[in-house]
Amino acid sequence: MRVHSSALTKGLTLAAGLTLVLTACSGGGGGGNGSSHKGSAAAGLSSCATQGKANTCNAAATKTGGTFTYVLEKNIQQWLVQDSNGNSFENGEAISVVLPQVFVPLPDFSVTLNTDLVTSATQTSTSPQTFVYKINPKASWNDGTPITADDFVYYWRTNNGKDCPPPPASDSTQTKGCLPQSTAGYDRVKSVTGSDGGKTVTVVMNKPFADWKQLFGAGYPLYPAHVAEKLSGAKVGDAAHMTAAQMAQGWQYFLKTPPSKYPTAGPYKMQDWTDNDHATFVPDPKWWGAHKASLQRLIFKVITDATQEPTALRNNEVQGIYPQPEVDLVNQIKAIPNVTYTIGAGLTWEHFDLNLHNPVIGKYLALRKAMFTAISVKDIMAKTVGQFDPDVKPLGSHNYVPAQSGYQDVVTGTGQGSGDLAKAKQYLTDAKFTGIGTALKTPDGKAVGPFNCRYTTGNQIRQSECQILQSALASLGVKVTIKPIGAADLGTVLTGHQYDIIVFAWVGSPFPGANAQQNWTTGGGGNYGGYSNKEVDKLIGQAVGEVDSGKAASLLNQADALMVKDAYVLPLYQKPTILAVQTRWVNMRDNATNVGPPYNVAEWGLKK
């Protein structure tokens, strides 16, 4: 799951595996979630309104040429999306243009095999579970180095949490070792071996992994192993024998280095990166794939103030935007001529997180329950996203959105998110807190708070959410200060536990079990608040290995119910998305998963 930074997402940057059906082009198939609206500022409902066309919305033939500029809402400071510090939604969008992955999430929440990279990916045995990947014979990095099993071996060993261990706790800068956003699946692999000159990859599992199509992709692409081998002094083509220090050296290189500096493998190559301004991509003449880039140039422009995006679109400074929708922003987009827009929802969901490293928050369960019960999610929605999306509803799960078959509301029945102040105060009274409603103190007489509520700067909705929380907790006698986070600093704040309460969005992948392992298990890459419950760990571990999706959902919902009782994260709502594109451009569509609209960037272009 990926952290959605201004809107992992992404889903924080960070997070990253959480780097999440609607109708038509708004982001899903199979019935949808009833929360999509399509329109064209010039011509009422757009042609994307045909139901069941999530994956083909806005499809048309293209002609060669043109420059398309797409907005990134956050600057990119860490380039390795597999890293907890680099797992931002914006990084995932940019890196997907130039790096290959096995399976790609689609707008309808399914995944498709990337046959440019592999001609097949099949499970050949269940005991032990075994997968065989046939790499496309043409697949190579643009320096001429073939893509081989060695790239898969390097990926596995740097992401399994064992061969390249995370930095020690004493390394506050986290510049040693590998810090994967998720080890889900990779920690269950017994071996990754190559044959047929490295063009066949065989993966044998120690334990079953139901979400195996997430491996080596699903928003987290391959990086060139030979680059890491060369710079660390390891033998090229022998990732299986790289030392932990050598792998860590490669990890840190990819984290800090934009892909304009090393060999890539995509329809475009990054020509340049200007920090906090833009990335320029041009067609890669070495690209072997089925879809050749038709654009002359593709630019990803950094605009961290979402209020400026409609103006840039109107002035033709950019041709496509994917901001976090707010009522004024939506109204501005509707008024721009020759622009088609879509409001939908996907696997992105908003939430408040508590930092259990805070000694008071972590110690007192009654306090956490009271805080979450005092907050009214309906009030939050009415004052924010409900102003432009009347279909938005409170979210009752940490693992599913309502359009997914496993969805079960395990939150509402507890009263969390209800705004029931009487019930919230009763939790505190029963636990022997004093000063309730004035200046709250713990049972042993220590002051509770002040706490900070943190959100990414420039996001008016999140600022409002912190303000609403501030008012609710004041009613309990808890002072809250609101402290914005710089647009590029969300990952640092999360991994450094530099918050008491934080609001952001996860952008999930279509793999709920792997997402849960990343975010809710002890020591998980996205578990920034330090949550730990052995029974939750056990249930999620069982779910991750359960090939029956119904049984897996039951296990995840059991774990979720326990987590709700522990009051660690309060889900708010399934976050609306809005994609607005000038009508002369085609094949751009809302992919409200962890990969975002650039999932099919090779197909973007001017309408023929």
| pLDDT digit string, tens, across residues 93-151 | 999 999 999 999 999 889 999 999 999 999 999 999 999 999 999 999 999 999 999 99
Query: pLDDT class for 18, splitting at 50, 70, 90?
Result: very low
pLDDT tens-digit profile of 439-465?
999 999 999 999 999 998 878 899 999
Q: Phi first, then psi: what are they for 368, rounded to 5°?
A: -65, -45
Residues 6+ apart with CB under 8 A from 44: none
Task: Extract the tokens encoding 77.
Answer: 């400071």
Q: Which helix (DSSP H) or strand (DSSP E) does residue 372 occupy?
A: helix 365-374
pLDDT at 41: 40
Residue given tokens 């984290």 in the structure block = 255
pLDDT at 34: 29
The DSSP letter of residue 235 is: P
**Contact (Cβ atoms closer than 8 angstroms) between residue 421 and residue 435:** no
Asked if residue 598 has a cis previous peptide bond (ω within 30° of 0), the answer is: no
Q: Is 168 exposed, middle or buried (0-12, 13-18, 19+ CB in 10 A)?
A: exposed
Q: Phi/psi zone of residue 557: left (φ > 0), alpha (ψ -120 to 50 degrees), beta?
A: alpha
CA angle 305, 505, 464 (to 5 degrees): 60
Residue 598 CA to residue 587 CA, distance in Å, equals 10
Residue 9 CA to residue 507 CA, distance in Å, equals 4
pLDDT at 9: 33
pLDDT at 172: 56
pTM of the model: 0.81
Bigger pLDDT: 486 vs 431: 431
Q: Mean of the pLDDT values across residues 405-424?
A: 97
Q: Mean of the pLDDT values across residues 291-307?
A: 95
- One DSSP character per residue, 194-207 reads EETTTTEEEEEESS
Residue 550 has pLDDT above 90, yes or no: yes
- How many other CB atoms are found less than 10 A from the CB of residue 224? 24
**Contact (Cβ atoms closer than 8 angstroms) between residue 165 and residue 177:** yes
pLDDT at 10: 33
Q: Mean of the pLDDT values across residues 170-191?
A: 83
Residue 221 CA to residue 265 CA, distance in Å, equals 10
- One DSSP character per residue, 35-100 reads --EEEETTTBS-GGGSTT-TTTTT---EES--EEEEEESS------TTBTTT--HHHHHHHTTTS-
